[in-house]
Amino acid sequence: MEGIVRVGCAVPRLHLADVEANVAEQLRLLTEAVQKHAALVVFPELSLTGYTCGDLFFQQTLLHEVEAGLQALSEGMPEGVAAVVGAPVEADGCLYNCAVLLTHGGIVSITPKTCLPNNGEFYEKRWFHSPEKGRVVTATLCGREWPLSAAPAVTVSVDGVTLGVELCEDLWSPLPPSTLLALDGAEIILNLSASNELIAKREYRQELVRQQSARCLCGYVYVSAGSGESTSDLVFSGHSMVSCCGSTLRENDGYIDDDYLITADIDVERIRADRRRQQSFGDCAARHTDGQAHRTRMDISLLLPDGESADYHVPRHPFIPSDERLRQERCRQIFAMQAHALARRMGITGGRVVVGISGGLDSTLALLAACKAVDLMGLPRENITGVTMPCFGTTDWTYQSALDLMRALGVSMREIPIHEAVRLHLKDIGHDESDHSVTYENAQARERTQVLMDVANDLGGIVLGTGDLSEIALGWCTYNADHMSMYGVNSGVPKTLVRWVIQTAGELPEFAPARDTLRRILNTPISPELLPPDEQGNIVQQTEDLIGPYELHDFFLYYAVRFGYRPGKIYALCCTAFDGAYDRATILKWLKNFYRRFFTQQFKRNCMPDGVKIGSVALSPRGDWRMPSDAQARAWLEECEAL
């Protein structure tokens, strides 16, 4: 699990204006954080004093206590952890609302708040100054002088993790400092906040933090003042959250909360992967920064140590939302994309389409999308010709499913058995029919494609491809057979998602007559049905027995293509996600198979037909993935062998 930083959001029990007591509370939570292997802990804005001290900020006694408190905190905190605390800091006769980054033994850096709210319930300009652009002021704290300025400053740990700090209102401004900090290299933004609670404000903050983490391609740690603040006119909720690249990783549970520590794991390798892919990020950095940002060095490691398990949820099925409502919405969107894209293509090619119907998942989804497309176009479903082509491996179960589905959907039906044509072909090439090798299988696949192509020519239509994203990734298709069509309507949908899209589409009222058949198809084993059934007429050739479970391959595909992770990291993530479902040897076996097939089958992807891109992982050489057919998998496979 390389590249993981465990962060802590700490909202201690607050003793208003009692710095000594606040230091003790923070040391208590820092000790707890170390026990939980958190290397970076963020406290709320002005956490040493409390945010609501008012005119007490002008008291020399309080400022003296702050300096003593920083010294005591740095000396008393555990080694191997960094903390960011909030404190009022005096510099050149002015007070600044600051975030102070400390490690055991001393201060690392001090960041002043840039945007001071002074409207509504906020009066910060009564006490604090905002740093002026181009001007550096000097604070003397703990026996050293510290420069304070408005210029972005980032801190780099010994292992290269880069941090940036902003405070509360800074995030709410039109141009948050975190934007420039990210462009200057900051991978994790730390926000010390004291945001009072109002109706619907929590939801707004959630979106604000999540969107900023997405826009800046960063981890974002937000920690707000707890309910221990003064309630004279306001209430503070202690709202904390951690987001990364647009996803919320962790959030405190209580609506009004106090005295807690939560941790979350941020994957900096994901951040770096996104930034490598996002060319506009680098363009903005070149346009708006000069590469001369002040960098502070921090001589501790922030990365999770080897052997410590990551503490973040790794979903088994990264393409499938775990929330039922969100999953249904996602599937509706995917189905709409498929249908509208196909309708656009059919509008150009004449409005007729031919699709091979096997009684399996992929051809069913393609047929449903075709029906929706002609419905959108106002054309009769008879413009769709479904062709079932029984051969040696066809079972009564799938044969009947194919016929029932076409009848229920009201499409034109053709049944074209291909037994004799395949037998003649095998005879022509001198292949013994009893030899059930790849030639035996591929001869059937190519005959089916030839039939579909010729029927489409005869009707003036196009052949609709049924292959899905997972099959394309593994090259699980016969070249110039099911590999080829005039439009690949499923090419962006991974296998693990296909059944959910079918299930969701099947709930549409226009597909009500087909629901019983759809349920039967959803319970059918995945098979190309190219080998004869057993004596009881059951399917004997199950795809996942041959190439591995699709849920594993979709997991490998997502992390290999979306983030470019190394095999070792994908393996560790997969072992975590599928703990109890597959043993480590099984996962490694199919990981090797994934890389072997993914590299050797690229030649099929380089000449795949058009098809709509559905998500962030796509393999069309035009829509997303570009890779030479003769690339070598040696380095990836050697890393797999070393696991």
Residue 148: both structure tokens together: 């304070």
CA nearest to 249, candidates 85, 8, 81: 8
| Separation CA 455–CA 461 (nearest Å) | 8
Instruction: Encode 452-488 in three state secondary structure.
Output: HHHHHHHHCCEEEECCCHHHHHHCCCCCCCCCCCCEE
570 in Cβ contact with 559 (< 8 Å)? yes
CA nearest to 112, candidates 87, 151, 148: 148
What would you measure as the largest C-alpha separation in the chain, in angstroms? 100
Q: How many C-alpha atoms does 179 have within 13 Å on its Cβ side?
A: 14
DSSP state, residue 130:
P
Residue 605: both structure tokens together: 């992807």
| Separation CA 293–CA 111 (nearest Å) | 14
DSSP state, residue 613:
-
Angle at 245 between CA 243 and CA 249, to 5 degrees: 30
Helix/strand/coil for 502: helix
245 in Cβ contact with 218 (< 8 Å)? yes
Q: Could you give the C-alpha distances from 58 to 63, 93, 165, 169, 435, in angstroms and in order?
A: 8, 11, 25, 22, 92
Indicate which residues carry an active-site annotation.
45, 113, 168
Q: What own/partner pairs with CB < 8 Å and gap ≥ 24 does 305-312 have?
A: 305/37, 308/1, 308/37, 309/1, 309/576, 310/1, 310/4, 310/265, 310/576, 311/6, 311/36, 311/263, 311/264, 311/265, 312/249, 312/250, 312/264, 312/265, 312/267
Q: Could you give the C-alpha distances from 112 to 94, 137, 155, 288, 627, in angstroms and in order?
A: 12, 11, 14, 21, 47
